[in-house]
Structure 1
């Protein structure tokens, strides 16, 4: 549907020259509905889903005392501390999703609903500063989860460290195996050339 929403036209650049632009403004009711639906599907629905599901998980983690006693019958306070840490991590994941994606969605909605004059009055430098900030926040969301897990989970840190060590060992084995094969083939070639020379 974005192809039917987009409008290709010539516009006046800052220096007065004419440039081709592709605009996606919500001029009709159906285009406005399309963009609102897109924002809802890709921001509101995932956010509400995260809040509801992580809320259920958090409630079960904190309120289920019997499971805590089964996990660590001798030291239930350690189990409670670990569960609270998981709840805190889940909250941080939801918060980072919201904080990182909200600026881009708000900017998108503002650009679509505003007039050409409003965007022109904003100025090119401020417009691109806003756009780049929102894009960086959007991309940062993709990188935040591993960082949060690393900061907040000792199990994740241990697992990640083990993964890096295993990958390092595997890489070392591949390099060593490759150099052995290379040395072995050189030795065969040397033997072959010696045999042919006699």
Structure 2
């Protein structure tokens, strides 16, 4: 409905309304069952509460129990007792939405297990590498694992071009002995086959490395 004008209704509108009525009646039936076991939510209404009479009513209360919201409770893992209506040991418990149950053991177990997995994810590779070095086991597998790392592959590419003197070639992070070393750059002369190339070195860098070309001094008379 918009601006007081009712639009067309679907052909099965009566079925939709009947389904809604049925859902409402089922929800009310569930609420009435829980309310019967839980009792009134106000303490001053206890004087109007009629205890169960007869075997059938007592069995009905015995088979169902609920946590009242405001009434005095005796809460335990084995029984939840209503002060007036419930027998000592109900077989079924209907909990209200105002209460939540959880297991401290499983909560602690989840935290400990998760923490252990996180710690192992950061330390397992280092620990296994140390044990392999210490006992000299699986040397080839350890070196291949370390060499195929991203930083080690970059080191291999630079070494093939004769760039830098490297240390830490079996560690996680290889470094050059010269902190100001220029690494390889991309050669994009062939867009279909890019590759790495040595960077262009300045005259000062060549001079410091002892690879500068000889300089001929011109005679002033010439």
Query: TM range, normalised to the smaller chain?
Result: under 0.3
Q: Which structure is larger by alpha-carbon Rg, 1 or 2? A: 2
